[in-house]
Chain A
Amino acid sequence: MAKIQLNGKKITINSKSSIQDLLKRYNLINEKIAIELNGIIIPKIKFKKKYLKNNDKVEVVHFIGGG
């Protein structure tokens, strides 16, 4: 198990979880989001191989209405 921060909230994930696994858990579609891991943007092609570790900070963003 690993404890990470996802969009400011503490969550627990299985150890050896990739970003792609995390997205799957929250029903998020790759095309509609972008990810920042510890302040660095992660390209989508790396989602499957980028594993998360304890204390990682993940930000998942998408488009919302705005002017």
Chain B
Amino acid sequence: MKDIFRVANKKLKSRLIVGTGKYKNFRETAKAVEASGADMVTVAVRRVNILDKKKPILTDYLNPKKIIFLPNTAGCFNSSDALRTLRLAREMGGWKLVKLEVLGDKKTLYPNMIETIKSTKILTKEGFKVMVYCTDDPLLAKKLEDNGAAAIMPLASPIGSGLGLQNKVNISMIIKQSKVPVIVDAGIGTASDATVAMELGCDGVLINSAIAMAKKPILMAKAFRDAVTSGRNSYLAGRMQKNYIASPSSPTKGLI
């Protein structure tokens, strides 16, 4: 059986999408991305440092022709800033597949869903394919889909917290109801969290801090690559029934 992962019009080989923030340097970023096997990475849009002409830049290490760049709106706290950021990203080189995140609070980095829904609607009308960072509320997730979201990206727990999947029930509800891919974004702490998310039936996971902040980021990137593959295979294989009594694994017939 061919298991193809499609987001909007893109066919992805890996169900692991990785962020490119928080690394020690660009060399480490590039090595971790390679080890992760991801074919899509998130990137942020920021001012060019005009004072230092020779400072290395991300695109010296990651080639957008070889790996899919997913521009994000990290750091935007309202719809107009998010729209401005993504319009600039599109102008940079035609990026229409984007990740929208409109934050509502500096302490929790929780998404402002009212602004998020509003922005999704506008961006979709402008021809963007919008992958949307959101809360794990099934009703709001549905609302996003109705407004044109190309993928629903509920948080596992707050961004950068590493607290893992805090609400499996809600994530499962969102998976069941969604016709677009569901990608768990934010809060994954370690490889096994990603496996659990994939076993729930998520289409993919997005990881940044859990890899970048690991003691050995490149090894952790590899761990996530395997964890996501394992979780997906396990989901497709279908787990056994849970029973509250034991059942021997060896035949009881012919016992000596």
Q: Which residues of A contact B (CB under 8 A)?
A: 6-9, 26-28, 31-36, 41, 43-44, 59-67
A-B contact count (CB 8 A): 95
Check B71–A61 contact: CB distance below 8 A.
Answer: no
The complex places the Cα of A7 from the Cα of B46 at a distance, in Å, of 10
The complex places the Cα of A32 from the Cα of B93 at a distance, in Å, of 8
Check B58–A41 contact: CB distance below 8 A.
Answer: no
Query: What are 16 A-B pairs with beta-carbon distances under 8 A?
Result: A26-B48, A34-B45, A44-B91, A60-B50, A61-B92, A62-B46, A63-B44, A63-B89, A64-B43, A65-B20, A65-B22, A65-B58, A66-B72, A67-B42, A67-B160, A67-B206
Q: Please judge, given known A-B contacts A34-B88, A44-B91, whether A65 and B53 are in contact too, CB under 8 Å.
A: no
* B 10-26 contacts with A by CB, 8 A: 19-23, 26
* B 76-93 contacts with A by CB, 8 A: 84, 87-89, 91-93
Smallest CB gap from A62: residue in B? B48
Given contacts A63-B69, A63-B92, 18 further A-B contacts (CB under 8 A): A6-B50, A7-B47, A8-B47, A34-B91, A34-B92, A41-B87, A43-B91, A60-B47, A63-B64, A63-B71, A65-B20, A65-B23, A65-B26, A65-B43, A65-B58, A66-B43, A66-B72, A67-B22
